[in-house]
Amino acid sequence: MSTFATPVAAKPKTMVLNMGPQHPSTHGVLRILLELDGENVVKAVPDMGYLHTGIEKSCEDKTYSQAITLTDRIDYLNPLGNNLAYCMAVEKLLGLEIPKRAQYIRVLLVELQRISSHLVWLGTHAIDLGAMSVFLYCFREREEILKIFELVAGQRMMTSYIRIGGLALEPPAGWLQRVEKFVNMMPGRIDEYEELLTGNRIWIGRTKDVGYISGEDAIALSMTGPTLRAAGIAFDNRKVFPYSSYEEFEFDVPTRTDSDCFARYMIRVAEMRESLKIVRQAMKKITPEGPFRTEAPGIIPPAREKMKTEMEALIYHFKIFTEGFSPPPGEAFAAVESPRGELGVFVASDGSPKPLRVHFRAPSFINLQALPKLVEGRLLADVIACIGTIDIVLGEVDR
Amino acid sequence: MADGNQNANVVIERLRAWSPDAISEILEFRGETTVVVPRNLLRDAAFHCRDDKALQFNLLSDATCLDRYPLEPRFEVHYQLVSIPNRKRVSLKVRLSGDDPVIDSLVPVWPGANWLEREIFDLFGIRFTDHPDLRRILLPEDWEGSPLRKDYPVEGYRDIPSIATRYTRNRP
């Protein structure tokens, strides 16, 4: 964050425009220093840090379980995905196996989360480009997903539902009917968005051939997620490095080669349909009965009944919630495919109940690095389309 | 990952074939292999990982640092590499002492390392030689200290006046 940066235009003809930190199209507090020649962008320098809250430092002062609540707040459109990535890293440190049923529930919820995140993206991106009504439709459907999360986890957004070893609690009876209702309703709704946008001449005019980046450049700049897949590279962690039983699900990884804002829009719409496919398969796989978390004395809290009847279970319960557990010294890196790209979590343990280091490989942060490449030489209005299709969440950029 | 070890074996083999000093240590933990590279060979080893036909680690997924204070060498810089064509992952690690936390920048190898290294510089105070734009990225430019170091308190230094008070005091 350059607090006192007073940019000076390089050429007498150009002017410097300070876009942000308070600008509706930056989806948070992102500041971009734009050097303009008339309406053409000569240079763009993103400047962030306005939302930096030191989450990684705070994690070092909490026990492994307590840090889960902080992960919700990194990418606030994808809290379950963040929980999953963090828990997978800690589970790798501990060497825990997760019951299949818990893995399927995790997959189902994370895919619903992906749809809801893409809905927020689509709605806000459309509103940035002047299509007001799509926003309202998208938020209508997102509300249904948030209601499912509230039913399952008791929270709409900051769920902290995925825990080390499995899930926080057994999902309530009848929750799959709610999911089914949503899954049956959603394909028609996605068709509605497409009717509003895909053939819309203004939409095409604002997004087609805007913000091109080649596949090689995208890889060199470490981009991942829909932005990389729109450049023709089918890299998806769910397929390439399957986790949480994704290898048992059938789905496609949509790719395109035109690599402009329109392609990234088409990829995300196609991903919503693929996620619905995964949700349908997961619903069939989830058995009504079975464990929702693994059993590991001293690490995973014992079941409520056991705690009330067995002395050891009571002692473990007390120790886990006061002192925490101590994984063996070592380092683990776990990566998941978040709606924005590869979300990696690096956790290092020194054998104490608090992590030595927690680092989040935030896809928004790294994808944002490519913004100057996308916008330089283009018009000012294209900057807004480009920021939108990178799909940044500033909470994740700044952490 | 089941093929994690085998994958790392290729890396170890190719790096050893290139230079016998390229690997100073191999760490195994939970099926994941971390290759420790000496500091002076890091950039060449990275070029090798990227360009070797058998390796092709074309995507730098992540770079981060951890502080083992008060142990020495206290810093460890970790790089997570991904090979998209070979569908492999590997992690490299470099150890740095607290007196001389300087390391070669990997921006010439992967331009995506730019902001990742700026973040490490910002939060750990590690310098990257030949970095094109080594500035703070998350914290204000006049911030003092490196907050993610272990000798920096979690609650910060309370006795240091905030930026706002400093500026009102200095105003004529």
**Are B142 and A350 a contacting pair at CB < 8 A?**
no
The yes-or-no verdict on residue A252 having pLDDT over 50 is yes
Which is more confidently placed, B12 or A285?
A285
pLDDT digits (tens, 9 = 90+) for A355-369: 999 999 999 999 999
The residues, any chain, with a CB within 8 Å of residue A117's CB and separated by 6 or more, are A77, A78, A338, A339, A340
**Are A331 and B113 a contacting pair at CB < 8 A?**
no
The alpha carbon of residue A332 is apart from the nearest alpha carbon of chain B, in Å, by: 8
The alpha carbon of residue B88 is apart from the nearest alpha carbon of chain A, in Å, by: 8
The yes-or-no verdict on residue A26 having pLDDT over 80 is no
The yes-or-no verdict on residue B146 having pLDDT over 60 is yes
Provide the pLDDT confidence category of residue A269 given band limits of 50, 70 and 90: very high
pLDDT digits (tens, 9 = 90+) for B26-67: 888 887 888 898 888 888 888 888 888 888 888 999 999 999
The yes-or-no verdict on residue B170 having pLDDT over 60 is no
Which is more confidently placed, A24 or A279?
A279
Provide the pLDDT confidence category of residue A14 given band limits of 50, 70 and 90: confident
CATH of the domain at B97: 3.30.460.80
Provide the pLDDT confidence category of residue A107 given band limits of 50, 70 and 90: very high
**Average pLDDT of the residues in A209-222:** 89
d(CA B50, CA B59): 8
Provide the pLDDT confidence category of residue A267 given band limits of 50, 70 and 90: very high
Q: What is the CATH architecture assignment of A55-398?
A: Orthogonal Bundle (1.10)
Which is more confidently placed, A5 or A263?
A263
3-class DSSP state of B155: coil
**Are B141 and A49 a contacting pair at CB < 8 A?**
no
Nearest-5° angle of CA A395, CA A398, CA B68?
A: 125
| Residues of chain A contacting residue B136, judged by C-beta atoms under 8 Å apart | 1-2, 49
Q: What is the pLDDT of residue B3?
A: 46
The yes-or-no verdict on residue B6 having pLDDT over 70 is no
Q: What is the pLDDT of residue A85?
A: 93
**Average pLDDT of the residues in A91-102:** 90
- Find the domain containing B15 and state its range: 4-170
Q: Based on the structure, what is the number of domains in chain B? A: 1
d(CA A348, CA B71): 15
% of residues, chain A, pLDDT over 90: 42
**Average pLDDT of the residues in B112-120:** 91
Helices (H), chain A: 55-60, 68-72, 79-94, 100-128, 132-153, 175-197, 201-207, 215-220, 226-229, 237-240, 261-285, 304-309, 311-322, 363-368, 371-375, 380-390, 394-398
| Residues of chain B contacting residue A52, judged by C-beta atoms under 8 Å apart | 138-139
pLDDT digits (tens, 9 = 90+) for A314-338: 998 898 888 888 899 989 999 999 9
Identify the weakest region by mean pLDDT among A9-13, A282-286, B98-102, B119-123: A9-13
CB environment A152-177: b (16+ within 10 A), e (fewer): bbeeeeebbbbbbbbbbeebeeebbe
Helix axes A175-197, A100-128, angle to 10 degrees: 30
The alpha carbon of residue B33 is apart from the nearest alpha carbon of chain A, in Å, by: 10
What's the number of CA atoms in the CB half-sphere (13 Å) around residue A128?
23
Q: What is the pTM of this model?
A: 0.90
CB A345 within 8 A of CB A363: no
CB B24 within 8 A of CB B38: yes
- pLDDT, averaged across chain A: 88
**Average pLDDT of the residues in A14-26:** 79
**Average pLDDT of the residues in A99-126:** 92
The yes-or-no verdict on residue B2 having pLDDT over 60 is no
Q: What is the pLDDT of residue B78?
A: 92
Among B135, B141, B154, beta carbon nearest to A57: B154
| Chain B residues bordering chain A (beta-carbon distance below 8 Å) | 1, 29-30, 32, 34, 58-62, 64, 66-68, 78, 80, 84, 87, 89, 91, 110-116, 119, 123, 135-142, 147-148, 154, 163
